[in-house]
């Protein structure tokens, strides 16, 4: 099973760093390493002379753990799974790594006092950040297949939605219909809260759907994604609500023209950034490909976020595709490319694809129409 290979890879990295054991509590990491999808788990990976992995969960998950867990033994903890995991580690190793970025202050205090009861010396827990998230950056064949599936399903119900949407609807109606269609198409859920932003609300990059009614002459930004087989999709499209082939009313002409100019600049930036994706490219270079075009077009100061992010089991994961990021893209990484321009109290445009880094370039996993579209 693929989980065993992932655990072996983790053991190899831990050994390189002379870390004899790792406590994994971040659930997406636990899922990645063992296949377990329950909501309570602590995994101890021993990487010394004898390697092993033991997953601690509670009685609600007895059957599920037996069915799902690969490559690790399972212990159903009558009290706290985390506490048992700490004692287990303390009894078997002199030092144990943990991910500081996924551990609360309260939880660390708990871990320390429990491990002391198991005989651990002070300093038993040592921060080893991102060991699993670094492995998760490069997707294996199984993951790529799942991400393709999630992306294809997303494109499918989005296309269906285009034939249904029209001016006069509320943002809320569109969010509800989109999520309803996603579920009917087979999605396990949405990967984040659907963003539906029309007109001047489009200038807020993360606007939630409201009662605002879509008017002719508005742009509409839809940013949404689903979870399928444990993997997330992420896509943004901006569409225009036009005048059904008729003339643009005089009082809207300037606004309409400005929106089109912004849209064209964002589309060019998005395509340039996708074209810049290849193994060996830095994330900073991909960001610069988008940012430099928007700056040249005069919209740079309205591009207020980074160009993209890794996506996989989580909607936001490593790497960050942002200014000056030195991370080198590798074959098998999946990132988003999503430049946007947000002009306060006027409008906003964002276009986002999920992109797989291939052996010699990039493959867009969300290849549904992204050019100017008037409904």
What are the CA-CA distances from residue 61 to residues 39, 40, 85, 214, 298 (Å)?
Answer: 9, 9, 16, 46, 55
Question: By C-beta, is 20 or 308 nearer to Zn ion?
Answer: 308
- Contacting residues for 40 by C-beta, under 8 A, at least 6 apart: 57, 58, 60, 61, 81
Report d(CA 329, CA 279) in Å as an integer.
5
Report d(CA 175, CA 162) in Å as an integer.
13
User: Which letter, b or e, does each residue of 96-120 get, where b requires 16 or more Cβ atoms within 10 Å of its Cβ?
Assistant: bbbbeebbeeeeeebbeebbeebeb
| Structure-block tokens of residue 11 | 């053991």
Question: By C-beta, is 96 or 337 nearer to Zn ion?
Answer: 337
The 283-322 contact track toward Zn ion, x by CB under 5 A, reads ----------------------------------------
What is the closest distance, in whole angstroms, from the C-beta atom of residue 335 to Zn ion in the complex? 9
What is the closest distance, in whole angstroms, from the C-beta atom of residue 225 to Zn ion in the complex? 6
Around Cβ 234, how many Cβ atoms within 10 Å? 27
For residues 181-240, which are near Zn ion according to CB under 5 A? 223, 234, 236
Report the DSSP beta bridge partners of residue 374: 240
The closest alpha carbon to 361, from 287, 298, 279, belongs to: 279
What is the closest distance, in whole angstroms, from the C-beta atom of residue 370 to Zn ion in the complex? 13
For residues 348-367, which are near Zn ion according to CB under 5 A? 352
Considering only 40-48, 133-141, 239-247, 335-343, which stretch makes contact with Zn ion by CB under 5 A? 335-343
For residues 235-264, which are near Zn ion according to CB under 5 A? 236
Question: By C-beta, is 34 or 336 nearer to Zn ion?
Answer: 336
What is the closest distance, in whole angstroms, from the C-beta atom of residue 68 to Zn ion in the complex? 28
Question: By C-beta, is 193 or 324 nearer to Zn ion?
Answer: 193
What is the closest distance, in whole angstroms, from the C-beta atom of residue 224 to Zn ion in the complex? 7
Question: By C-beta, is 57 or 133 nearer to Zn ion?
Answer: 133
Residue choice 154, 203, 336, 366 for contact with Zn ion (CB under 5 A): 336
What is the closest distance, in whole angstroms, from the C-beta atom of residue 336 to Zn ion in the complex? 4
Cis amide prior to 135 (ω within 30 degrees): no
161's enclosing H/E stretch is helix 141-162
Question: By C-beta, is 76 or 368 nearer to Zn ion?
Answer: 368
DSSP letters, 255-316, are HHHHHHHHHHHHHHHHHHHHHT--TT-BHHHHHHHHHHHHHHTT-GGG--S-SEEE-SSSSS
Query: Half-sphere exposure of 42 toward its Cβ, with a 13 Å CA cutoff?
Result: 25
What is the closest distance, in whole angstroms, from the C-beta atom of residue 283 to Zn ion in the complex? 14
What is the closest distance, in whole angstroms, from the C-beta atom of residue 354 to Zn ion in the complex? 8
Number of residues counted as binding Zn ion (CB under 5 A):
5
Question: By C-beta, is 7 or 226 nearer to Zn ion?
Answer: 226
Cα 102 from chain centre:
16
- 154 binding Zn ion? (CB under 5 A): no
Task: Give the footprint of Zn ion on this chain (CB under 5 A).
Answer: 223, 234, 236, 336, 352
């Amino acid at each position: 099973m693929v989980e065993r290979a992932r655990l072996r890879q983790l053991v190899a990295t831990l050994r390189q760093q002379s870390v004899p054991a790792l406590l994994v509590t971040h659930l997406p990491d636990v899922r990645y390493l063992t296949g377990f999808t329950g909501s309570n788990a602590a995994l101890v990976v021993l990487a010394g002379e004898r390697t092993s992995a033991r997953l601690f969960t509670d009685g609600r998950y007895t059957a599920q753990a037996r069915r799902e867990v690969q490559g690790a033994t399972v212990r159903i903890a009558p009290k706290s799974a985390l506490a048992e995991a700490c004692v287990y580690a303390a009894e078997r190793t002199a030092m144990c790594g943990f991910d500081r970025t996924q551990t609360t202050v309260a939880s660390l205090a708990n871990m320390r006092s429990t491990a002391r009861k198991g005989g651990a010396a002070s300093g038993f827990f040592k921060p080893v950040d991102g060991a699993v998230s670094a492995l998760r950056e490069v997707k294996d064949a199984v993951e790529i297949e799942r991400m393709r599936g999630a992306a294809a399903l997303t494109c499918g119900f989005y296309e269906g939605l285009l034939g249904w949407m029209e001016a006069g609807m509320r943002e809320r109606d569109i969010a509800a219909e989109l999520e309803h269609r996603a579920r009917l198409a087979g999605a396990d859920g949405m990967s984040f809260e659907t963003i539906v932003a029309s007109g001047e609300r489009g200038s807020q990059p993360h606007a939630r759907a409201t009662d605002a009614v879509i008017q002719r002459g508005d742009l509409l930004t839809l940013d949404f994604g689903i979870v399928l087989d444990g993997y997330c999709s992420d896509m943004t499209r901006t569409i225009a609500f036009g005048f059904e082939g008729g003339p643009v009313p005089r009082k809207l002409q300037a606004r309409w023209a400005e929106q089109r100019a912004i849209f064209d600049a964002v589309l060019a930036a998005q395509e340039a950034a996708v074209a810049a994706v290849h193994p060996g490219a830095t994330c900073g270079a991909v960001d610069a490909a988008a940012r430099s075009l928007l700056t040249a077009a005069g919209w740079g100061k309205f591009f207020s976020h980074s160009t993209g992010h890794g996506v996989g089991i989580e909607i936001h994961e490593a790497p960050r595709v942002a200014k000056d990021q030195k991370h080198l893209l590798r074959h098998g990484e999946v990132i988003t490319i999503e430049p946007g321009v947000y002009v306060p109290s006027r409008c906003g445009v964002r276009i986002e694809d999920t992109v797989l880094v291939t052996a010699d370039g990039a493959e867009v996993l969300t290849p549904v129409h992204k050019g100017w579209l008037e409904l």
